[in-house]
Amino acid sequence: MITTVFGDAILPRGGRVSLSSMIHLLQPLGVNERLVRTAVYRLVKEEWLQSEALGRKTDYMLTPSGHRRFAEASRQIYAADIPAWDRRWRLILIVGEVDLRSRESLRKALFWHGFGETATGSFVHPTADLEEVMESLVSEGFDAMLVQLMPLVAVNSRVAQCATDIDMVQKAWNLGGLALSYEEFLQMYEPIRDALIANAQEDMPEKSAFLIRTLLIHDVRRLLLRDPQLPESLLPASWPGSRARHLCRALYRKLLPLSERHLDANVRLSNGTIPLASQVVASRFAYGMDLEADGLGSV
Instruction: Give the distance from CA 187 to its chain's centroid.
Output: 20
pLDDT beyond 80 at 297: no
Which comes out higher in pLDDT, residue 143 or 186?
Answer: 186
**Average pLDDT estimate for 195-199:** 83
Overall pTM > 0.85: no
Helices vs strands, H then E, count in the chain: 12, 7
pLDDT beyond 60 at 1: yes
What confidence tens digit (pLDDT) does each residue in 144-177 have? 888 888 888 876 644 344 447 878 888 889 899 9
Hey, CA dihedral for 4, 137, 48, 80, is it positive or negative? negative
Instruction: Give the distance from CA 158 to its chain's centroid.
Output: 33
What confidence tens digit (pLDDT) does each residue in 261-287 have? 999 999 999 999 999 888 878 778 764
Nearest to 286 by CA among 84, 80, 82: 80
Confidence label for 291 from pLDDT (cuts 50, 70 and 90): very low
Confidence label for 298 from pLDDT (cuts 50, 70 and 90): very low
Which secondary structure element, helix H or strand E, spans residue 155, and what is its range? strand 149-155
